[in-house]
Each structure stands twice: as structure tokens, then as C-alpha cells.
Amino acid sequence: MNDKLLEVKEVYKTFDEVVHALKGVSIEARKNEIVGVVGENGAGKSTLMKILVGVYSPDKGELYHKGKLVPFPGNPKEAAKRGISIVYQENGVIPWLKVYQFLFLGHEDKYIQFMTLQKDSMKQQACEILQELHVECDVDAFMHELPLSNQKMIEIARAILGVRLEREDSDTTPIIILDEPTAPLTDDECKELFRDLLKMKKNASFIFISHIIPEVMEYTDRVHVLRDGNLVAQYDLSKEKMTEEDLFRAIVGRKSSEYISRSGDSEALGEDTILSAKNLTKRGHFYDISFDLIRGSCIGFFGPAGSGKSRIIRTIAGLTNYDEGELTAKEQMLKPDELPHVRLSRGIGYFSGETGKELFLNWSLSKNISIINMEKILGKITRVIQFSAERKMAEKIVQKLEIKVPSVGTDCYSLSGGNKQKVSVGKWLERNPDILLLDDPTIGIDVGAREDIYQVLLEMKRNGISMILVSDEPKEYYILCNKIMFVMDGRIQKVLGPEEFRKVMST
Amino acid sequence: MNNRNSKNKVFQRIKQTLKMHPVIIVLLALLIIFGSIYPDRFFSPINIKSILRQFVTLMLFALGPTFVVLTGSLDLSYVGVWMLGGVLVWMVKPILGIFAIIMIPVVGVTTGFLVGVIQTKAKIPSFILTLSLLMTYTGLAALLAEGYPRAVEGYEFITAPIIRYVPSTFLWTIPIIAAAIFFMKYTRICVYLNAIGSNEEGARLAGINVDKYKILAFMLSGGFTGVGAIILFQHLGGSAQMELKLNTLVWPLVAIVLGGTPLTGGSGGPQRTLLGAITFTIFYRGLYLSALHPTMVTLLVGVLLIVAIIISARGLKGVTVT
């Protein structure tokens, strides 16, 4: 029997004539299964799903529904006719509605008699469908009173219900796309969600988008791996045996030629430890993280998304607290709940590559640089801002980093992504902290600008600034780090040197 | 050649200034319109004196809250500070004598501190918090003064004429405005306030103690309102007032927004509020001279506020914050 429910063949999608989001991707969903679609940010997962639900239309490609060639849906309602519906990652729930109100939101017209809403029949229907899908909850409860996993299940139930109310004929099976449903959930809530999801497989098929490897491995039947708009691998997890690392390599895998050469180990490493952590733990995110950061060196935390690596760096920056363990910088205890400004006063700076996170876009370039270097531009006695000093400081940075701007008074929002990043990194160059935390320092900028940023960071490193790196880009670890810690499920699994790391990544 | 170059430079500068403060264009337009409709009456000494008097009231009320608006919050307690402060002056006058006037800034700074702490710790919208506080202060002032406006003597020197046609309170206001503008331009505190309004997350990442500076913003607001209210106390009759007027509450907001400090914060400051206050006063006096019914004037002021808010919000559209 042909159990292919939905098949997409050779889909192409280009944005603005230059960004090739999808370059001929084919995937399929079979009856009563959970199929995983995994890939890094920007791999094309979301674009593909938006095509399936009719938000985007593809440039080229074919769609088969139950073996028949059909046109791509033009809007979500048409998609629902074929049984396709989506549950988005966040903001899908309206907290102040009751469960049954939320389930029928947008479909109330089917329950109106004598101009009034038939609440009793709605409630009864809601009970029935929730029972059928094995979701246990009170239909009279408010959405916000339920645990998050339950809320997610009700969202899924709502998607299935939507399909049932819209579909062409009654034997169309709902195909529900789940866009990273576990992102806002804790571990326990995830387990509950999947327990319920496995029961629901009888009633529907699921396309499960995620980049969290362990859950994909455990709960999906088959998995498609996307990278840079291509389908690079396809596994049948029930038949093939593979490890988490295999899948991870398939997701990030890069050719070894992409690694630029490391600029030798000429950097002067100090002797003293500048930051050390002992059994640092934040429950639900990471456990027993211990490391010693030597002055002038760089440690990288490497692992798939959801491994806890970004939590670790945000904890050191003071953006979140830790539960247990010890964190000391220059023999000073760093208390768990210190805020970023206290950490900065102890010499720990945090640099995030996400544009707009660090910069004040409606401000001039020079002000963006001086904001963390106020001490240097205040008058010695008067303590007032010296604008000439501010301008000189900014001009120095602009010249050094070759930032392309008409003047240092230019507003930051008019700069290109790469130049914005240079401004962000430039202010740290001037500040000269003891430790610089790098959170995805080159995300979203082009190759040329990347190389420039690396050069600046390497120079800072040579000048004795210690760094901790977290990134989605494996080669960054190779270029910058002296020690790479492999993190999986919130624990350090392995510690590698840069050469070893390169070997592991290129096989 | 040289001459043309320097002319070009001047032109560039003017262009830049107009881009930064588009309200100047509105101001000039209003002056031309009203000046040509009734040239004699508009530029008469009496009208100019009225303009200045009204400007003083508006400016001193609008100056303090500007600092809070910079951070993207709102402080409506200024009228309350003036009223409660006035009543306290009346109460402690027999004890402290002339120094009783110090009660107004004390009330201002204390209020600012309280509002700041409550707002940052309890995370309540400052708008509703300060509005409730304003109501509380109105009630408290009436209670303490037993329901009657209380005249306080001894501060007439504030309004004693110095220069002909120029209200003395206007002269007193100048150093306060200058102090606020200096403070805005040359201290790090105001850079940080601006940073919070522009990108709070970014401010946090840049190592700014956001909560502390938010509290400081409210204290600055209270402080400037308090000092300004010393002048206003005598300027508005030398007595503790009981009645809360909508105009005194809304006009300063119009002046702030009209001047170009968006209610979302992140840019602007006292120098813009100054321009806004002048423009609004001219606008109001011009309408006042035309024989329009007062209710019509109120309506037009409301429309002006709406338009100003829309423009100030759209002005930020060029910025794409992701």
C-alpha cells in the first residue's frame, strides 16, 4: 500500500533574486508517523514549511497529495483543505480564553443558533475531541492555568480540529507541522508532550521541525536533514542505527577546505587563571561545568542548539543566574545573581553578534562606541563629556577596523550588517576588558566581514584578552580557541584541542 | 570662492539643525501666520508678556518629565508635586520662615525616588502609577489645607519686576533651562537615560545598571519639577492650589512630544522640550487672539497632541530594530 500522504518534490525558492533559500528540496510525510526536519538556522526549514501552509509560493516544484499531483496551496485555509496545518513555535496561545473557546476560535460560526453561541454543544464537542486525542484537561479551565506542555497539546488539537472542519472529504488525514514545539518547554514538559504526541499518531501525521538532536533521535520515525537549502541526508531511524554525533555532523558538516589556516600558536599565553568555574549548575540547562580560563587564551563551548552552551555564556555574563557551583574571576567570587553591570566592573564583557541587540541604532556611531568607554571621555576634574575626545576615539576605531562610513556622526541604522558588527566589536577593542564573552560573534554577516572580525578578535587575544566562545559556526572554534569543550545535554562530554577538533569535524 | 564655501557650510548647518528639530519650521510658520493675520496685536508688548508668562508655566512643568520620557516611561506627578509642595510650604512657613519653600523640591525628589523604586521593583507601568499618585497628592493636599486655597506671603520678590515687559519669572527660568540642557548634553547620566530608552537590552549589555538609572530619571524629574515649582508657586498666584486642571496636566505633555522627544524614549531632551514649549505657547496665544471659543481652542490642542504623537512615532520608522 502506498502510505505516502504528502510528497514535495524539487522545491526551489529564491528571495530578492539573490537569496536561494531552497535549492531543490524533496521531503515526504507518511501515514501515522512523526517525520523530523532538522537543520541549522537558515537551512531552509521554515521557508519549506511556509510553502506547505501557503504563506509563500515556491518558484518551482511539485506537490503530491495521496499520490495525486495538486497545486501548492495559496493560503492557510486551502492548505487546511488538504489536511495541512501548522503549530508555530511561540505566541500561539491566547491565555485568557477558556480551553473550549480557544479550540473553536475562528470556527464559532458552526456553533451559532438563534444568533447565540451554543456553549454546551461546543464544550461537549471539545471534550470529545480531547478525549479522542488523549489530552487530559478541563475544558472550562483558562489556557494560562494549564501547564505549558498541555497548552501545546491543545494547540495541536486545535490544528487537527481546524483540519477536520475545513477538509475536502472526511478521510483526509491531518498533517500537522510542529515548528520547534519544545523550545519554551522544560525537560519534563517535553517528555509529557511527546508521550501525548505518540498517542496522537493514530489520528494524524506530524512534521516535526527542530534542531535539538536528542529529541529528534528519540521520537521521530524518519528524519530529513536540510543544510543551506539542500536536502543533504535522509534517515529511517527505525531501520538505520546512528548516534547523535552522526546526525549532528550531518547537520553542520562542512568540508575541511573551508577552514582557514590558524595563525599559529604564537600568542603569548599567561600562566595565571583568570576565570574558573567549579561544578557550575543551572538546573534544566547545564550541570557540573568546570573549567579554568588562562589569561590570553580562549575556550569554546561547542554543541548542538539546546545543549546548554549559550546558557553557560549568558550565566557568566550575568544575564541569568546559576543554582550551584562556584565562579571566580581573579580570585574573586562572582555571586550567582550579579547583574551584567557588576560583571563588567569586574572585567567581564559580553559581545553578542545579534544585530540590534547591542547597538543603539538611532544613535551615531561615535556614541555607540563611547557608551561603554565613558570614563575615557569625561573631563579629569569637571567630569563632563568631552566631545572632541569622543570623536577622536570613534575615528581611531573607524580607521583601525576600516568601517565604511561618511563620518563618525552617522546613525548606526544606516550601516550594513558587517559594519554594524565592527562597531559592536570596536567598542570592546577600546574598552579592553579582561575577559570577553563571544556569543555567536559573526552571525548573519558575509564572509569578508567575518574575516575582519576574526582578525580583530585575534589581535585582542594577542593583547592578553581572554575569551569564551559560543557559536554555530564550527570553524570559528578552530580559528579562535585553544581548548574546545564539547557540550551535549548540558554536560561537558569531551575536551579537544583545535587540531583534534578539526579532525573530528572534517571526518 | 572662500565666501561661497563658508556660506555653504552655514547652509549645511541650518539644514542639519532643521532635520534634528523639525518643530522649528512649525514655529516659524506659526509666527508668520499669526504675525500677518494680526500684526499689531500679536507683537504688542502685552501679548509678548503673556506669551512669556505662559511659556514659563509650561516650560517648568514640562522640563522634569522630559528626563523620564527619555527612558521611555512617563511621569505625570508634576502637578501633584506643585500642589502638595505648596500646601506643605503653607504648613511649615511659621516654623521655617522663608526657607519653607524648600519643601517643594523635597517633595519632588522624594516623589521621584518613590515612583522610581516602585516602578522598577514592582514592574508597573509608570503612566498609571504616577497618575494614581497625582490623584493621591491632590487629595492629600486638599486634606492638609482643609479644602481651601491657602495664600502664603513672603515670596513676592520672585515676581518683582526687573526688566520692563519681561516677567521676572522668565528670567529665573533661564538658568534652570540652561542647567537642564547642560546636564543633558554633558553628563554620562543622560547618555545612560537615552540608552535605556533607545534599547534597554543593549543598555544592560553595555553594563548600565538599568534599574538605578531609571530611579535616577524619576528623581531628576522630581528635582527639576520641584525647583521649577518654587518659581511657579509665586508665578501662579503665591498660594497653595487645590484644584486639578486638565490643562496643566496635558499641555506639558504636548510640549514634550511637539518638541520631538518621542514617548517611546531614546532621543530628545530638554532642548527639544524648550522648542516645543515655545511653539505650543505661540500656537495657543495665536488661537487665543483669534476670537475662537475657548472650547474650540481645547479641541484644537487635543488634535495637535494627536498629530504630534503620530509624527514623533513615524519619525522613528527609519530605524529598524530587530
User: DSSP for B178-213?
Assistant: HHHHHHHHH-HHHHHHHHHHH-HHHHHHTT--HHHH
Q: Considering only CB atoms, which chain B residues are within 8 Å of A350? A: 205
Q: Quick check: B319 and A361 CB within 8 A?
A: yes
**Least CB–CB distance from A352: residue in B205, B207, B266:** B205
Q: Quick check: B207 and A359 CB within 8 A?
A: no
Per the model's pLDDT, the better-predicted residue between B221 and A71 turns out to be: B221
Q: A358 touching B, CB under 8 A?
A: yes
**pLDDT at residue A115 tops 70:** yes
**Least CB–CB distance from A371: residue in B191, B267, B321:** B191
- What is the pLDDT, as a whole number, of residue B66? 94
Q: Considering only CB atoms, which chain B residues are within 8 Å of A355? A: 322
Q: How many beta carbons lie within 10 A of that of residue A88, not counting itself?
A: 14
Q: B194 touching A, CB under 8 A?
A: yes
Assigned CATH topology for domain A270-506: Rossmann fold (3.40.50)
Dihedral-angle region of residue A402 (phi above 0 means left; psi in -120 to 50 means alpha; beta otherwise): left
**How far away is chain B from the Cα of A398, in angstroms, using its nearest Cα?**
19
- Binned at pLDDT 50, 70 and 90, residue A73 comes out as confident
- What is the pLDDT, as a whole number, of residue A406? 84
**Least CB–CB distance from A341: residue in B201, B208, B316:** B208
Say yes or no: ipTM exceeds 0.85.
no
**pLDDT at residue B177 tops 90:** yes
pLDDT in tens, B8-26: 888 888 887 777 788 888 8
**Least CB–CB distance from A372: residue in B206, B267, B319:** B206
* Cell numbers representing residue B46 in the block: 502685552
Q: Is residue B27 part of a domain?
A: yes
Residue A326 identity (one-letter amino acid): E
**pLDDT at residue A19 tops 70:** no
Minimal CA–CA distance to A67: which of A11, A23, A28? A28
pLDDT, averaged across chain A: 82
**How far away is chain B from the Cα of A428, in angstroms, using its nearest Cα?**
10
- What is the pLDDT, as a whole number, of residue B178? 94
Say if A4-253 and A270-506 have the same CATH topology.
yes
Q: Quick check: B199 and A361 CB within 8 A?
A: yes
**pLDDT at residue A324 tops 80:** yes
Q: B208 touching A, CB under 8 A?
A: yes
Q: Is residue B34 part of a domain?
A: yes
Q: A232 touching B, CB under 8 A?
A: no
The domain locations on chain A are 4-253, 270-506
Q: For residue B254, give the H/E element and its range.
A: helix B246-259
Interface test with A, best of B205, B211, B267, B312 (most A CBs within 10 A): B205
Q: Is residue B11 part of a domain?
A: no
- What is the pLDDT, as a whole number, of residue B291? 79
- Read off the pLDDT of each residue in A261-286 and give the average, rounded to a whole number: 75
Q: Considering only CB atoms, which chain A residues are within 8 Å of B206? A: 344, 358, 371-372
- What is the pLDDT, as a whole number, of residue A253? 67
- Binned at pLDDT 50, 70 and 90, residue A93 comes out as confident
Cα–Cα distance, A236 to A178 (Å, whole number): 19
- What is the pLDDT, as a whole number, of residue B308? 82
Q: Which residues pair with A223 in a beta bridge?
A: A36, A235
Cα–Cα distance, A196 to A192 (Å, whole number): 6
- Binned at pLDDT 50, 70 and 90, residue B81 comes out as very high
**Residue carrying C-alpha cell 537558515:** A42
Per the model's pLDDT, the better-predicted residue between A310 and A416 turns out to be: A310
Helices (H), A432-506: 447-462, 474-480, 498-506
CATH code for the domain in which residue B206 is found: 1.10.3470
**Beta strands A324-329 and A19-30, pairing class:** unpaired
Per the model's pLDDT, the better-predicted residue between A417 and A263 turns out to be: A417
- What is the pLDDT, as a whole number, of residue A507? 60
Directed axis angle between helix B23-37 and helix B2-20, to 10°?
Answer: 90
- Binned at pLDDT 50, 70 and 90, residue A255 comes out as very low
Q: To the nearest whole percent, how much of chain B has pLDDT over 90?
A: 43
| Contact present, A431 and A349 (Cβ < 8 Å) | yes
- What is the pLDDT, as a whole number, of residue A214? 78
Minimal CA–CA distance to A468: which of A435, A442, A425? A435
**How far away is chain B from the Cα of A379, in angstroms, using its nearest Cα?**
10
**pLDDT at residue A146 tops 70:** yes
pLDDT in tens, B130-164: 999 999 999 999 999 888 888 888 888 888 888 88
Q: Quick check: A355 and B209 CB within 8 A?
A: no
Residue B72 φ/ψ, nearest 5 degrees:
90, 5
- What is the pLDDT, as a whole number, of residue A258? 45
Cα–Cα distance, A274 to A306 (Å, whole number): 28
- What is the pLDDT, as a whole number, of residue A5? 82
**How far away is chain B from the Cα of A469, in angstroms, using its nearest Cα?**
17
| Contact present, A412 and B202 (Cβ < 8 Å) | no
**How far away is chain B from the Cα of A362, in angstroms, using its nearest Cα?**
6
Residue B81 identity (one-letter amino acid): V
- What is the pLDDT, as a whole number, of residue A506? 67
Q: Quick check: A356 and B205 CB within 8 A?
A: no
Cα–Cα distance, B52 to B43 (Å, whole number): 12
Q: Considering only CB atoms, which chain B residues are within 8 Å of A362? A: 198, 266-267, 316, 319
**Beta strands A348-352 and A435-439, pairing class:** parallel
Interface test with B, best of A361, A410, A416, A423 (most B CBs within 10 A): A361
Q: How far is CA B244 from CA A213, B81, B139, in A?
A: 63, 12, 10
CA gyration radius, chain B: 20
Q: B94 touching A, CB under 8 A?
A: no
Q: Quick check: A378 and B198 CB within 8 A?
A: no
**Beta strands A222-227 and A230-236, pairing class:** antiparallel
- What is the pLDDT, as a whole number, of residue B135? 93
Total count of domains within chain B: 1
**Residue carrying C-alpha cell 542505527:** A241
Cα–Cα distance, B71 to B210 (Å, whole number): 10
Residue A178 φ/ψ, nearest 5 degrees:
-110, 110
**pLDDT at residue B51 tops 80:** yes
Q: Is residue B16 part of a domain?
A: no
Interchain CB contacts (distance < 8 Å): A and B: 72
- What is the pLDDT, as a whole number, of residue B62? 95
Q: How far is CA A317 from CA A347, A348, A467, B136, B190, in A?
A: 10, 7, 12, 42, 25
| Contact present, A98 and A141 (Cβ < 8 Å) | yes
| Contact present, B185 and A383 (Cβ < 8 Å) | no
The DSSP secondary-structure symbol of A483 reads E
**Residue carrying C-alpha cell 575536551:** A495
Exposed, middle or buried: residue A292 (CB in 10 Å: 0-12, 13-18, 19+)?
Answer: middle
Q: Considering only CB atoms, which chain A residues are within 8 Å of B188? A: 374, 378, 385
- What is the pLDDT, as a whole number, of residue B322? 25
Of A189-193, A360-364, A424-428, B170-174, which range is least confident? A189-193
Cα–Cα distance, B131 to B117 (Å, whole number): 16
Residues 209-228 of chain B with CB under 8 A from chain A are 209
Q: A376 touching B, CB under 8 A?
A: no
- Quote the domain boundaries for residue B173: 22-314
DSSP letters for A296-338: T-EEEEE--TTSSHHHHHHHHHTSS--SEEEEEETTEE--TT-
**Least CB–CB distance from A362: residue in B188, B191, B267:** B267
Q: For residue A11, give the H/E element and its range.
A: strand A4-15
**How far away is chain B from the Cα of A126, in angstroms, using its nearest Cα?**
37
Q: Considering only CB atoms, which chain A residues are within 8 Å of B195? A: 360, 371
Residue A316 identity (one-letter amino acid): I
- Binned at pLDDT 50, 70 and 90, residue B71 comes out as very high
- Read off the pLDDT of each residue in B80-85 and give the average, rounded to a whole number: 93
What pTM does this model have? 0.73
Helix (H, G, I), strand (E, B) or coil at A469: strand
**pLDDT at residue B189 tops 80:** yes
Helix (H, G, I), strand (E, B) or coil at A226: strand
- What is the pLDDT, as a whole number, of residue A267? 53
Q: Which strands form A286-294's sheet, in the order they lie side by side?
A: A286-294, A273-282, A324-329, A332-333
- What is the pLDDT, as a whole number, of residue B17? 79
Q: Considering only CB atoms, which chain B residues are within 8 Å of A352? A: 205
The CATH number of A4-253 is 3.40.50.300
| Contact present, A225 and A213 (Cβ < 8 Å) | no
Cα–Cα distance, A312 to A300 (Å, whole number): 11
- What is the pLDDT, as a whole number, of residue B320? 31
Helix (H, G, I), strand (E, B) or coil at A439: strand
**pLDDT at residue B314 tops 70:** no
Residue of A nearest to B192 (CA): A371
**pLDDT at residue A261 tops 60:** no
**pLDDT at residue A322 tops 70:** yes
Residues 161-190 of chain B with CB under 8 A from chain A are 185-188
Helix (H, G, I), strand (E, B) or coil at A279: strand
Q: Which residues pair with A30 in a beta bridge?
A: A4
| Contact present, A139 and A130 (Cβ < 8 Å) | yes
Q: A407 touching B, CB under 8 A?
A: no
**pLDDT at residue A269 tops 70:** no
**Beta strands A491-496 and A483-488, pairing class:** antiparallel
| Contact present, A330 and A274 (Cβ < 8 Å) | yes
**Least CB–CB distance from B198: residue in A339, A362, A374:** A362
Helices (H), A346-380: 365-370, 374-377
Q: Which residues of A364-385 are buried (b: 16+ CB within 10 A; e: fewer)?
A: bbbbbbbbbbbeebbeeeeeeb
Cα–Cα distance, A391 to A257 (Å, whole number): 42
Q: Is residue B321 part of a domain?
A: no
| Contact present, A362 and B261 (Cβ < 8 Å) | no
- What is the pLDDT, as a whole number, of residue B104? 93
Q: A101 touching B, CB under 8 A?
A: no
- What is the pLDDT, as a whole number, of residue A128? 86
Q: A210 touching B, CB under 8 A?
A: no
- Binned at pLDDT 50, 70 and 90, residue A1 comes out as very low
Q: Considering only CB atoms, which chain B residues are within 8 Å of A413? A: 318-320
Q: B313 touching A, CB under 8 A?
A: no
Interface test with B, best of A320, A341, A366, A416 (most B CBs within 10 A): A341
| Contact present, A49 and A86 (Cβ < 8 Å) | yes
**pLDDT at residue B128 tops 80:** yes
Q: Quick check: A357 and B205 CB within 8 A?
A: yes
Q: A73 touching B, CB under 8 A?
A: no
**Least CB–CB distance from B187: residue in A319, A363, A384:** A384
Interface test with B, best of A368, A371, A416 (most B CBs within 10 A): A371
- Binned at pLDDT 50, 70 and 90, residue B316 comes out as very low
Cα–Cα distance, B30 to A313 (Å, whole number): 56
Per the model's pLDDT, the better-predicted residue between A148 and A334 turns out to be: A334
- Read off the pLDDT of each residue in A409-434 and give the average, rounded to a whole number: 85
- What is the pLDDT, as a whole number, of residue B229? 92
- Read off the pLDDT of each residue in A290-308 and give the average, rounded to a whole number: 86
| Contact present, A353 and A377 (Cβ < 8 Å) | no
Helix (H, G, I), strand (E, B) or coil at A38: strand
Of A246-260, A292-306, A483-497, which range is least confident? A246-260
